[in-house]
Structures are given as C-alpha cells and as structure tokens.
Chains A and B, each alone.
Chain A
Amino acid sequence: MTINSPCGGSRTKRCYYLACVLTVIGVFFFIIPIFVHDEFYLNILILAAANGVIALAMRAIMNMGTPSFAHGAFVGIGGYASGLGAIKLGLPFWLTAPLAAVVAVMIAVVLGVITLRLRGTYFIIITLSFSEIIRVVLNSTGENIWGGAKGLLNIPPPSVNFFGRAIQFSQNNLAPYYYLIFVILIITLIVMYRTDHSRIGMNIRALRFSPNLAQSIGVHLMKWRVIAFAIGCIFAAIAGAFYAHYYVMVDANAFFGVSYIIPVIAWVIVGGRESIVGTLLGAAILTILPQYIKPLREYDQMAFGIILVLFGLLLPQGLASLPVRLSPWWASLRRKEQS
C-alpha cells in the first residue's frame, strides 16, 4: 500500500483521474452560456452556484460542530458592505467583494470569540439573536445610509473591462454574472478543499469529534473554532456581495432569520456534510428542483423541514454517502444475476 498523502491513496494516479474529470466538468460548465441563451436557465444555474458557495461556507462551520444561525446574517452583511462600497465609495466589484469579506471576518472574529465558548443549542440561540439584532438595526435605522426598511437599492451591477471592452452585466445578459459566480465558486472549492485536506481541517474535525482529546494533544480550541467560523463567514459574505450586485439591491429581511437558515442547512445535510462535492450537489439540487416542482416552491419551509428530518433519519451522511450505502445491495444483486 502506498501512502503519499495524509488523505490516503496513491497521489499521482488519483490526481490524474481527478484532473481529467475536473477539466471535463469545468469545460462543460464553461461553454454552457455559449449554447444556452435562455435567461431562465442561466438564472437557475447562477442561483445554484451562489447557493453552492453559501452551502460550502455553512459546511465549513458545521465541520466545527453546530450550524451557525447567523449564516444568513453574514450573507446580508456581505451584501450591505459590498453595496455600500459600490454606492458610497464608488468601488468596483473586485474591490467590494474583498471589502465584504474583510467586514465579515472582523465581525465573525468578535462574534466567534464571544459565542464559540458555547456549544450546541446555546451557540444556535446566540447566533440567531445576533442575526435578529442586525436585522432590526438595519431595518429601523440608517434611512439615509443603507435605506432602512426599504433595503439598499440601486446597487450598480459589476463593471469589468475585458481588454478594453466593457462587459455588460445586466438582467438581459446574464452570461457575465454566470462567469463571475463560476470563478467565485471555483475559488471557494479550492479553499475548502485545501482546508479539508490540511492541518486546518484536521484540527477542526479533531475538535468536533473529541474536543478533550484534541486539546490534550495541543489543539487550541478557541483559535481553530474561530478560524473555522471565520472561513465560513467570509464565503457567506462573498456570496452575499454577489447577490447584492446580481439583484442590484439588498433587503435586510431576505437573508436574516430562521426561514433563510433552514434551507441552507438542508443543502448541506442533503448533499452530505462530510463531502465538498456532496454539499455542492445538495445546494444545486435543492435550488433547481423547486423551480420545476411547484409545491416545493410554495410550501418551501415545510418541504425543507420534512426533507431535513427524512435525511436526518434515513441518510444522515447525505447523498454523498449513497454510493457507499448502496454498494452492498448492488453487490448482492450482481451475485444473484451470476448464479
């Protein structure tokens, strides 16, 4: 048995297959806007990718233990920070998105240091309260700054000069948005993969499975929990920044509160919290399905609740564990065929 990397398996061979598969998938999604001009389909893909970023960010936090109920708040904070940066300071998107990330990381560290001493239900209650406080503050103050209850309106769409040619981001031409979220998603995937397969992910998972053991061999509990929380909040905020420039507005009521969080948790659980690809698939499936299945769209809260309970009971590791779960069944089926 060759062991070349801590994640196990022979590195070169696996890397080769992985690179091939990734290239094919990448090229496939890259050429979609060339053939698909229907904005309806592009819009669905954009939402799936953006929600994928949010789900991956949530997964990074859930790797630490409990889901953060302030996740939507960080999406909103990213949106507001980026929108304000664009409106008040006139910054372009490639500066406002990092600005959103910086604001998010500062708030996340402060909130993390306060709340991450608590675990489980207490962490959920505190993050939910934080989210509600921000929502109320954004709604009832700052009429002239961030629009108060009306929300932040007239956020300019991103403007990019591609070799001297201005690229039009507009609701009639979604392809640039598609490529933008495509790039953001790829960056998110790379960062998530690297954190998972390095000391960062190891420490975070070691702390989740057994905080006492991890501490007793030298893992700083607070430091790594705060890092996990901050990584999640950064990408939530970047996705929020994208949404703000996509819808050219942010509304404090859209992202904050439990009703936004339940679907996000469902994305992660349905896809499989242990797997990056699974989480991305979960977000994509649960974003795309409601567009075609009307009851899922109309009774979304109830539907997502039921989905969460069902997956929690029947497939706690999500769709990503389906191949492993089905393999014995599949093997027995083949044995029957042969005999």
Chain B
Amino acid sequence: MLELNDISVKFGGVLAISNLDLVVNKDEIVGLIGPNGAGKTTLFNVVSGFIKPVTGTAVYKGYRLVGKRPDQIAKLGLTRTFQHTVLWANVTVLQNIIWAHHLKAGVSFWGALFGTQTTRHREKNVVEKSMEILRYFGLDPVAHELAGNLPHGQQRALGIAIAVSADPDLLMLDEPATGMTGEESARMMNLIRKVRDSGRTILLVEHNMRVVTGCCDRIVVLNFGQKIAEGSPEEVSKNPRVVEAYLGAEEGEYAA
C-alpha cells in the first residue's frame, strides 16, 4: 500500500534519514520504533508532505507522494496525527470533527456562500456523521466541551478521531499513547485495533513498548536514520542490534 524507496532527508549537514526502504501492506499495523532522534517523526513528515526528502520515492496506492502538498496527500486517503497533541483547542469536540469532515463533505465555494439546499443537506449529514465518529471513539459524552479542556487521554483519542474523519485508508499515528497511564494506553491499544478492523491500515510511532508489542503485526526499528531491524515483535526484541541501540553494546542480556 505504501512503499518507500531509498528515502534520505538532510537538515543542514545532518542526515536525519539515510536510504530508508519501507513497505506497509494493506490491513497491517506496522510499528516504527527507535531511540529519540532516530528519524521516526521526520519520516512521517516526509510521507505526509511536510518535508521534502533529498532523494528517494514514496508511492502510495500508485501515486507518487514526493512533491505533493500535505492537503493533496490527505485527499489521497493518507492522514496522520501529531506527536504533540494538535487539535483545535478553542472550539468544541464536535466542531473539531465537523471541520475535519468537511474535506469529504464536498460543499462547493459558491454553494457555501449562498447556502444552497444541497449544501444545507450535506452540512446536516456532516453533523450526524461526526456524532457517529465521536460515539465510535467514545467521545460523544464530551461532544460539546471545548477540546482544550479534555483530559490528555481523550485529547489523544480526539486527535485520532480527527484523522479518521478525513476517511483515510492509511493512518499514521505519531506516539498515540505518549504520556498515558497503563489503563489509558490499554484503551488506546483497543482503539487502534478497532480502527484497523474497520479496514484502515496503520503505521505508528511509539515509545511505549507494551503498546507496540501488544498491537503491531510488524515492527521496524530505526537508529540514526537507518533501518536496523524489521520483523515480528518477538524477532525484533531478540535482535542484538536493536538491543544495542536501546541499551548500549555488551549488555545485550538485559533486553526487555
């Protein structure tokens, strides 16, 4: 579904990602892990169009992604969440989803300006669909709260709900369980699996190893911008290079 070939990214003189290849298949949950600064978020920014790579190609459903704007990529059915909680904090939760939904609502500029019958009809549909999505994510009780007032766990869930509202086929989650308690992260894991089971492929970056091993089908490990390992959670956690990257050389026996 998503195929990255020989991607390299440079920030000034620093090579943030070098010659990375990555394949994400349909209906998979792929985990991207690695120490801080390994280039995971950079990779997300490349795929979603916020950063242009120096070399390499990214192909999604047959479309070349490099050179496309973020909004064009979103319209191809590839959306993402952000590492720091990013949402429209000063409007309601429902409004957040409505805004996200408008991408698919298909209201024309002139229709919107003059408030034509079809536009009104569609806008009404959007509200209903948005409530449906909130129910799906268990956010319907707080639909009319300001998004900025939600607790952290619900804000993260809302972030994913916004990305899902744009109806993606491939969803990229940047540290969905960051800063969560055990209970919250378990709920997040269920949510991620549920989203996958609704027919969406997921690529996620995560530091919380319980979440990664708990819900990923395949794990890719990055270190200093290079792929050092790939495989099932068990394979990867036994891989000496991964252990070295996380814990340093010689102390391989402490692998988690």
Q: Does A36 contact B (CB under 8 A)?
A: no
Number of A-B contacts (CB under 8 A): 101
Chain B residues 85 to 102 lying within 8 A of chain A, measured CB to CB, are: 86-92, 94-95, 98-100, 102
Q: Does A191 contact B (CB under 8 A)?
A: yes
Contact A198 to B50, CB < 8 A, known contacts A216-B80, A217-B79: no
A206–B99 CB distance below 8 A: yes
Per-residue CB contact flags for chain B residues 102-145 toward chain A (1 = under 8 Å, else 0) read: 11010101001111000110011011000100000000000010
- One of B48, B71, B86, B123 near A6 (C-beta < 8 A): B123
B103–A218 CB distance below 8 A: yes
**In the complex, how many residues of chain A place their beta carbon closer than 8 angstroms to a beta carbon of chain B?**
29
Q: Collect the chain B residues with CB atoms within 8 Å of residue A200's CB.
A: 109, 112-113
Smallest CB gap from B78: residue in A:
A216
Smallest CB gap from A231: residue in B:
B113
- One of A1, A198, A205, A212 near B113 (C-beta < 8 A): A198
A218–B88 CB distance below 8 A: no
A6-B98, A218-B71 known; 9 new pairs, CB 8 Å cut-off, are A8-B92, A195-B112, A202-B102, A205-B91, A206-B99, A215-B71, A217-B99, A217-B103, A217-B166
CA–CA, A198 and B113, complex, Å: 7
Shortest Cβ gap from A229 to chain B (Å): 15
A220–B88 CB distance below 8 A: no
Kindly state the interface size class of chain B when it binds its partner.
35 or more
Contact A216 to B99, CB < 8 A, known contacts A5-B123, A200-B113, A209-B90: no
B99–A202 CB distance below 8 A: yes
Q: Measuring CB to CB, which residues of chain A are less than 8 angstroms from any residue of chain B?
A: 1, 3-6, 8, 191, 194-195, 198-200, 202-203, 205-206, 209-210, 212-221, 227
- One of A195, A205, A209 near B89 (C-beta < 8 A): A209
CA–CA, A166 and B74, complex, Å: 57
A6–B80 CB distance below 8 A: no
B114–A5 CB distance below 8 A: no
Q: Collect the chain A residues with CB atoms within 8 Å of residue B79's CB.
A: 216-218
B69–A215 CB distance below 8 A: yes
Q: Collect the chain B residues with CB atoms within 8 Å of residue A8's CB.
A: 92, 94, 144
CA–CA, A1 and B75, complex, Å: 33
Contact A213 to B162, CB < 8 A, known contacts A3-B127, A200-B112, A220-B71: yes
